[in-house]
Structure 1
């Protein structure tokens, strides 16, 4: 009888401990954003009426139909202000992910990287095409990247990749921490 009672008490303790563990008082981490559309607008700093726009759309996600991508044509040795708009057009009306990134700016960082070859690893990005300087900051004075200055250099033909990094609790201004919400690559020519 004592053995049965001891087993029953142990089982009850485990049951209540397991029930207690199921309750999670800590908030869950925000999931990555769903992104189907990226719109870039380059405004010539010297001639603000001169704008270059490009969009990248992948409405059915990776593995489906290839994304529709505009080619970017910029002038060499010219400074542009680049603004990035990010949308989820699977929803009706479309979800403006740009606003979510602004609201959670301490968790997000946009990068605009130049590559000679398409789909190259991030470590292959080149600084010879342009200098990119973020103009917007979060509450911790870290760059966000929705608005950047792009100072083109000499002629260049390759690719510009815009990457949204989701970095809750780990954002430090660098690419490394976190995960990728979106990555959109555009063919680009600077001449």
Structure 2
């Protein structure tokens, strides 16, 4: 009788009600000049002890003024072998994620202090609700600038509305940026 009871037990529903934040150790940006595909800039942010860790490796970004770039953002968890391409998950769960590319004079500045006069960022990819995802963007630089490019992946399940505010941060990176 006990064996029959154990065999008929209902299985627990182990599906989480909300997806957890992504584990991201590496963010790679590829800037391709829209007028000259041979003109590419690749920059990596790497933090092998996880976002917010103590030893990030960050490549500086140097771009040309008054130039339009096609920019791709790739995300990885390199603590796994082989590395987990988190970009695929962000694409699949586009309705729950938004990637922001913001400009600042000082590192660590408030999102409210982001600058709009550095470059125009236009997301090229959309989710099923026609809201931007931001893994693929165009970036039209303006005049010379020295500061920081912050790339933030926001996790916004159930409340994505195209703005920064809802949700939590999967990863926040800051690249030294020079536009000349």
Normalized against structure 2, the TM-score is what?
Answer: 0.90
Runs of 5+ in structure 2 lacking a partner?
1-11
What is the Cα-based RMSD across aligned positions, in Å? Answer: 1.5
Moved over 6 A (4+): 23-26
Secondary structure of the structure 2 residue equivalent to 1:186 = strand
Aligned to 1:188: 177
- Please give the secondary structure, in 2, of the residue aligned with 1:66: coil
In 1, Cα distance between the equivalents of 2:124 and 2:106? Answer: 27
Structure 2: distance between partners of 1:137 and 1:79: 20
1:57 equivalent to 2:46? Answer yes
Instruction: Measure the CA separation in 2 of the matches of 1:167 and 1:132.
Output: 20
Name the residue aligned to 1:162.
Answer: 151
The residue number in structure 1 matching 2:6 is none
**SS of aligned partner of 1:100:** helix
- Mean CA deviation greater in 27-36 or 63-72: 63-72
- In 1, Cα distance between the equivalents of 2:82 and 2:14? 33
Correspondence for 1:71? 60
**Alignment match, 2:9:** none
Match of 1:96 among 81, 85, 104: 85
The Cα of 1:66 is off from its aligned counterpart by 2.2
Q: TM (normalized to structure 1)?
A: 0.85
- The separation in 2 between residues aligned to 1:128 and 1:26, in whole angstroms, is 44
Distance 1:64 1:98, change over 3 A: closer
Aligned to 1:13: none
